[in-house]
């Protein structure tokens, strides 16, 4: 059955049953001997739930994938199993090159199979995009050409190396089968080793493994045959491919279509998972909220047109069940990969199937935890779902009612306060929430107002506001809480989530009338047609850059001053498109400079390393992207009165939205 086999119906309204709303998404699929109950795939990705010494998967990985199986995903794909020590990178990579890893893989398989969900394993080698540090080995590649991301000259593989690699894939496939995986996926994508052989961007060989497309396909075909032979005819084996690398001389859709045609004519391929990019175009690999929904689905559609009936998986910012159903109905793909949406809400499939669409916690495509963590070598996390990585402790069905229900007052309706209120209400406490403004959301609303695409960021608090209403929290907006009002209410516990105030540096001129905060620049009177200096304190995060982007969009001449690299704290997938937009809009950038003084018309800055001063002249407005100051006066007053007080979010310590939501969850659980 393909995406065109079901009669057209609407993609569904909230509350509709799966039969009416999602007939294609919940249609079963049979792949050789494997029954896939629906068309939702939790595709392979790096989680970093790895033992750093053995490079084996930990129990947290088993719990993490099992949670998505429990939530209704039709197929789980375990991320890259590295087939050879030369194919590793930093931060923990799950090894598949010797038998020591089999037990940890088997634990993952058993955890997923407990929910009658099939699970496949990816086989991969990172090639020249890896790192030699973990294994103290050279990087392997088709040619001795340094990759723009790793910036390391790799070893150009010899024929002996190629033979060793093929056997490494063969033996790794046998290990995956012995661990119990139902199928395998061979990684031809994202600039990794097999992709680098396919692409003229990285393959400059002149022997039988380079030059013509047939030659460049030789090693990937040898590997695929070896894997298929190792596991036998009953086991599905698919391919993940980049259908466009977005680099000069890289793979594009036309060549990818020809690769697929030749591949399917040469070997049995059970599916084609169509992705895009390599590490030199990493900003398009996992598109953030600045991209439209499903921005690269044309690649899946193009591959499917020439796939001769081989099922095609679509991936990349398909953010909802409704969008997945739409793409299946249009014939863009046969199966839909939902990764970040299932990180945000593992129960998305089951909620959609049972008509509870409004209860689905939305993915906002922020990349803050899901990509920001692993790309720094840290375990995966999620801004909207603090349970990620803690499924064993707090996963589906494990946040039960308290034995000691109390009256909890939450002061502040930002992300920390809303999450604390939601979690406490789920635990059976009677919850009242005070918010001084007329609208819930706190500083998330300011961040979301910076640019039109940032509105998606507010989905984090919009969802929580809907949940506290659904859970019966007594929400009182327009109420300023003070000690007297709290004494009148007499709650058992007060959770103070009063946020933070914009800080200012202790430099001359910082309090002059033309000096404003980022918050003022975003939601205050519009600044148009001026010369504006945005001063980053060194947080190097979204605050300074999205403020600059907004000011540029309003026709201002903007200079950004930062003591570090602009956007240094933003994940490697989201920073490049943001910087490309800023520099394309004419941003003047002064990196490695700190603020010294502000005058009526000038801004004095100093070079971070040398101390040499520079004057930015004729500045009309100075915008401070400065560290916040905890608004904790109420907390201190309540503590001195003997109240049971818990402080969360920026009122505890000014940080990011992900930290605020984690705080709210942590305190809500502890109550």
pLDDT at 373: 83
**H or E element, residue 242:** strand 237-242
Query: Would residue 323 count as lying in a domain?
Result: yes
Look up the pTM and report it. 0.95
Confidence band for 9, pLDDT divided at 50, 70 and 90: very low
Catalytic residue among 29, 105, 187, 192: 192
The residues near 377 (Cβ < 8 Å, ≥ 6 apart) are: 48, 90, 91, 92
Among 642, 647, 643, CA closest to 659: 647
Mean pLDDT of 89-93: 70
Residue, of 93 and 139, whose pLDDT is higher: 139
Q: Taking 70 as the threshold, does the pLDDT of residue 1 lie above it? A: no
Say how far apart CA 664 and CA 414 lie, in whole Å. 10
Residue 11 lies in a domain: no
Condensed to tens digits (0 to 9), the pLDDT of residues 556-609 reads 999 999 999 999 999 999 999 999 999 999 999 999 999 999 999 999 999 999
Rounded CA separation 89/279 (Å): 13
Predicted confidence (pLDDT) at residue 621 exceeds the cutoff of 60: yes
Q: What does pLDDT average to over the chain?
A: 95
**What's the pLDDT score for residue 91?**
63
Q: What is the C-alpha to C-alpha distance for residues 21 and 28, in angstroms, rounded to an integer?
A: 15
Domain co-membership, 345 together with 250: yes
- What local confidence, expressed as pLDDT, does residue 135 receive? 81
Tell me the CA distances in angstroms from 184 to 23, 107, 147, 266, one per residue in order: 27, 17, 28, 18
Q: What's residue 19's pLDDT?
A: 52
Handedness of CA 319, 320, 322, 326 (dihedral sign): positive
pLDDT at 15 over 80: no
Lowest mean pLDDT among 47-61, 65-79, 414-428, 467-481: 47-61
Confidence tier at 374 by pLDDT (50, 70, 90)? confident
> Cα separations (Å) of 230 from 120, 183, 235?
15, 12, 10
Are both 481 and 357 inside the same structural domain? Answer: no
Among 609, 626, 643, give the residue marking a domain's end: 626
What are the strands, taking DSSP E only, across 510-662?
A: 515-517, 531-536, 557-561, 588-590, 593-598, 603-607, 613-616, 621-625, 628-630, 645-647
Is residue 5 in a domain? Answer: no
Is residue 664 located within the same domain as residue 610?
no
Kindly indicate the confidence band of residue 93, based on its pLDDT and cuts at 50, 70 and 90: confident
- Annotation says 192 is catalytic: yes
394 inside domain: no
Position 486 in a domain = yes
Residues 653 and 612 in one domain: no
Q: In the structure encoding, which two tokens stand for residue 394, read together? A: 């707090």
More confident residue, 332 or 8: 332
90 and 170 together in one domain: yes
Q: Which residues contact 363 (CB under 8 A, 6 or more apart)?
A: 319, 340, 341, 343, 344, 345, 384
Same domain for 319 and 353, yes or no, is: yes
pLDDT tens column, 386-418: 999 999 999 999 999 999 999 999 999 999 999
DSSP state, residue 201: T
Among 322, 355, 389, identify where a domain stops: 389
Report pLDDT for 590.
98
Which of 553, 537, 565 is CA-nearest to residue 624?
537
Judgement on whether residues 540 and 663 belong to the same structural domain of the protein: no
- Please check the confidence at residue 342 and state whether its pLDDT lies above 70: yes
Alpha-carbon distance of 148 to 146, in angstroms, equals 6
The token duo for 153 is 């000259």
For residue 376, the enclosing domain spans: 18-389
CB count in 10 Å sphere of residue 100: 12
Q: Are the beta carbons of 331 and 314 closer than 8 angstroms?
A: no
Asked whether the predicted pLDDT for residue 13 surpasses 50, the reply is no
**4 or 557, which is more confident?**
557
Same domain for 110 and 248, yes or no, is: yes
DSSP 8-state secondary structure symbol assigned to residue 113: H
H or E stretch including 415?
A: helix 415-426
Where residue 499 falls among pLDDT bands split at 50, 70, 90?
A: very high
555 inside domain: yes
Q: Count the neighbouring beta carbons within 10 Å of the beta carbon of residue 404.
A: 10
Instruction: Tell me, yes or no, whether 345 and 455 share the same domain.
Output: no
**For strand 34-36 and strand 29-31, is the pairing parallel, antiparallel, or unpaired?**
antiparallel
Q: What's the CA gap between 246 and 278, in Å, rounded?
A: 8
Q: Residue 530's domain is classified under what CATH number?
A: 3.50.50.60
d(CA 391, CA 368): 19
pLDDT at 204: 98
Cα separation of the two ends of the chain: 50
CA angle at 347 for the pair 337 and 410, rounded to the nearest 5° = 125
Answer with the one of 626, 642, 662 that is the final residue of a domain: 626
- Whether 609 and 620 map to the same domain: the answer is yes
Q: Measuring CA to CA, which residue among 370, 317, 368, 392 is closest to residue 48?
A: 370
> What local confidence, expressed as pLDDT, does residue 472 receive?
98
Count CB neighbours of 554 within 10 A.
15
DSSP letters, 416-482, are: HHHHHHHHHHHTT-EEEEEESSSSS-THHHHHHTSSGGGGGGGHHHHHHHHHHHHTT-EEEES----
* Residue 118 near residue 36, CB atoms below 8 Å: yes
pLDDT number for residue 6? 29
Distances (CA, A) of 455 to 62, 554, 556: 34, 17, 22
Residue 11 confidence (pLDDT) above 70: no
pLDDT digits (tens, 9 = 90+) for 190-248: 999 999 999 999 999 999 999 999 999 999 999 999 999 999 999 999 999 999 999 99
CATH label of the domain that carries residue 295: 3.20.20.70
Kindly tell me the sign of the dihedral angle through the C-alpha atoms of 209, 213, 214, 219: positive
Residues 622 and 636 in one domain: no
In the chain, % of residues over pLDDT 70:
97
Measured from the Cβ of residue 32, the count of other Cβ atoms closer than 10 Å reads: 13
Phi, psi angles (nearest 5°) of residue 516: -130, 165
Q: Is residue 157 part of a domain?
A: yes
In a domain, 9, yes or no: no
Evaluate whether 420 touches 495 at the Cβ level (below 8 Å): yes
- Asked if residues 502 and 521 have their Cβ atoms less than 8 Å apart, the reply is no
User: Is there a single domain that holds both residue 245 and residue 333?
Assistant: yes
Sheet holding 407-411, edge to edge: 474-477, 430-435, 407-411, 493-496, 645-647
**Tokens at 165, concatenated:** 């690699």
**What is the longest distance spanned by two Cα atoms in the chain?**
84
Q: How many folded domains does the chain comprise?
A: 3
**Bridge partners, residue 239, by sequence:** 186, 272
CATH number, residue 486: 3.40.50.720
Given a cut of 90, whether residue 544 has pLDDT beyond it is: yes
Task: Please check the confidence at residue 5 and state whether its pLDDT lies above 80.
Answer: no
């Amino acid at each position: 059955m393909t995406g065109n086999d079901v009669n057209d119906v609407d993609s569904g309204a909230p509350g509709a049953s799966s039969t009416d709303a999602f007939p294609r998404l919940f249609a079963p699929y049979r792949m050789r001997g494997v029954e896939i109950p629906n068309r939702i795939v939790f595709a392979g990705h790096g989680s970093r739930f790895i033992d750093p010494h053995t490079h084996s998967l930990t129990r947290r990985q088993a719990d993490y994938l099992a949670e998505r199986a429990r939530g209704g995903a039709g197929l789980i794909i375990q991320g890259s199993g590295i087939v050879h020590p030369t194919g590793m990178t930093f931060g923990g990579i799950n090894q598949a090159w010797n038998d020591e890893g089999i037990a940890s893989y088997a634990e993952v398989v058993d955890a997923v199979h407990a929910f009658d969900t099939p699970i496949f394993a990816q086989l991969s080698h990172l090639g020249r995009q890896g790192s030699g540090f973990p294994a103290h080995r050279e990087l392997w590649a088709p040619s001795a050409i340094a990759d723009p991301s790793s910036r390391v000259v790799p070893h150009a593989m010899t024929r002996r190396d190629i033979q060793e690699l093929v056997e490494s894939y063969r033996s790794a496939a046998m290990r995956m089968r012995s661990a119990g995986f139902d199928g395998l996926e061979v990684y031809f994508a994202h600039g990794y080793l097999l992709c680098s052989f396919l692409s003229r961007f990285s393959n400059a060989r002149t022997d039988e493994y380079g030059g013509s497309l047939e030659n460049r396909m030789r090693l990937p075909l040898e590997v695929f045959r070896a894997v298929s032979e190792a596991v036998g005819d009953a086991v599905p084996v698919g391919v993940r491919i980049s259908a466009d690398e977005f680099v000069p001389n890289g793979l594009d859709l036309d060549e990818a279509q020809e690769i697929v045609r030749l591949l399917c004519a040469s070997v049995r391929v059970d599916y084609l998972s169509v992705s895009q990019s390599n590490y030199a175009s990493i900003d398009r690999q996992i598109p953030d909220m600045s991209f439209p929904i499903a921005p690269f689905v044309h690649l899946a559609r193009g591959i499917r047109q020439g796939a001769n009936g081989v099922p095609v998986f679509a991936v990349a910012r398909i953010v909802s069940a409704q969008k997945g159903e739409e793409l299946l109905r249009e014939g863009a793909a046969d199966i839909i990969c939902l990764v970040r949406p299932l990180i945000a809400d593992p129960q998305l499939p089951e909620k959609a199937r049972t008509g509870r669409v409004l209860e689905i916690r939305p993915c906002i495509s922020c990349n803050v935890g899901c990509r920001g963590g692993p790309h720094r070598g840290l375990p995966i996390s999620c801004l909207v779902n603090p349970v990620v990585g803690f499924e064993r402790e707090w996963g589906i069905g494990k946040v039960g009612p308290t034995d000691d229900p109390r009256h909890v007052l939450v002061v502040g309706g930002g992300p920390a306060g809303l999450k604390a209120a939601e979690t406490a209400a789920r635990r059976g406490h009677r919850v009242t929430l005070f918010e001084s403004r007329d609208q819930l959301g706190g500083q998330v609303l300011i961040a979301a107002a910076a640019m039109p695409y940032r509105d998606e960021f507010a989905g984090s608090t919009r969802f929580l506001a809907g949940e506290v209403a659904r859970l019966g929290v007594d929400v009182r907006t327009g109420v300023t809480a003070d000690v007297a009002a709290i004494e009148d209410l007499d709650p058992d516990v007060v959770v103070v989530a009063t946020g933070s105030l914009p800080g200012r540096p202790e430099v001359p001129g910082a309090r002059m009338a033309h000096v404003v905060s980022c918050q003022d620049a975003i939601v205050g009177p519009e600044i148009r047609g001026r010369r504006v200096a945005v001063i980053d304190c060194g947080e190097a995060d979204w605050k300074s850059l999205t403020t600059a982007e907004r000011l540029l969009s309003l026709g201002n001449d903007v200079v950004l001053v930062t003591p570090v690299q602009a956007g240094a704290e933003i994940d490697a997938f989201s920073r490049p498109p943001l910087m490309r937009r800023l520099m394309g809009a004419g941003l003047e950038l002064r990196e490695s400079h700190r603020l010294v003084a502000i005058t009526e018309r000038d801004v004095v800055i100093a070079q971070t390393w040398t101390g040499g001063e520079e004057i930015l002249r004729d500045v009309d407005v100075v915008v401070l992207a400065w560290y916040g100051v905890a608004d904790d006066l109420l907390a201190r007053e309540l503590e001195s009165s003997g109240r049971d007080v818990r402080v969360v979010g920026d009122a505890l310590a000014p940080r990011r939205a992900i930290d605020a939501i984690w705080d709210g969850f942590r305190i809500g659980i502890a109550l």
